[in-house]
Amino acid sequence: MKILSIQSAVAYGHVGNSAAVFPLQRIGVEVFPVYTVNFSNHTGYGAWRGPVISPADVREVIQGIEDRGAFGDIDVVLSGYQGDEGIADVILDTVARVKAANPAAVYSCDPVMGNAKSGCFVAPAIPVLLRDRVVPAADIITPNQFELGFLTGTEPDTLESTLESVDLARATGPRTVLVTSVERPDREPGTIEMLAVDDSGAWIVTTPLIPLKANGSGDVTAALFTAHYRRTGDLADALARTTSSVFDLLTRTHESGQRELQLVESQEAYASPRMQFEVRQVR
């Protein structure tokens, strides 16, 4: 499998492509990483150095990949945080050209815009751009519960309302939706859930809630889920493998006392997930 991943990059720590590429490689995926920024560290520190890469330069890098004749071999285009409005045009154009070269290719979009605790942390135009142009062009989307609400103009909280919101999102274009950070009022205390839906049904998985703010964990989740699902087409299996790997990554990170993901130290969790959580069909 080959994935063209258009995301941010940092030298210190693990977010964007700096979080997604290694876990994908560890499960045997060839990755073509294209950077949208090249920062010293993620912006959550409040200070960072390095350039934002212009959409024109991003387009040039992608054009160089196409010049090598690689587009026909790409199985997935993956995108995450979009810091510049112009990047969306580059991504959408790339998706169209990859699919022209390989009609079996899919586009997986992590529509990063914020979370329930922090609200939106991207430029005001980005969520609207994602909702109106980017998400409808995607085959797979991986929003958290907060982002799903914005995309659909709803306030999902219960399982039923979250499923209804997923249906609204799927009606706009993407057939597969992974909802992360699902927190419904009737769940067991101290737990958190992920929900996945495609044409075959809906599955949910519950894990203990780890008290940790881990920048980059969503990028790892989107990457692993996309790869597992694209490889097998089995939604429940992709959800189970992704959940197991990410839970063990977060557990190791929490136990380390470090702020950054223990990405390399957790590599066996990607290569050989323990499959320790039950995935239940809910529709």
Question: Can you give the pLDDT of all 283 residues of the chain as single tens digits?
Answer: 999 999 999 999 999 999 999 999 999 999 999 999 999 999 989 999 999 999 999 999 999 999 999 999 999 999 998 878 899 999 999 999 999 999 999 999 999 987 766 666 677 888 999 999 999 999 999 999 999 999 999 999 999 999 999 999 999 999 999 999 999 998 999 999 999 999 999 999 999 999 998 999 999 999 999 999 999 999 999 999 999 999 999 999 999 999 999 999 999 999 999 999 999 999 9
Distance CA 148, CA 195 (A): 12
CATH topology for 2-281? UDP-N-acetylmuramoyl-L-alanine:D-glutamate ligase (3.40.1190)
Distance CA 62, CA 36 (A): 11
Helix, strand, or coil (residue 275):
coil
Distance CA 54, CA 220 (A): 24
pTM over 0.85: yes
Distance CA 158, CA 149 (A): 12
- Sorted by where each begins, the domain ranges of the chain are 2-281
Distance CA 171, CA 46 (A): 38
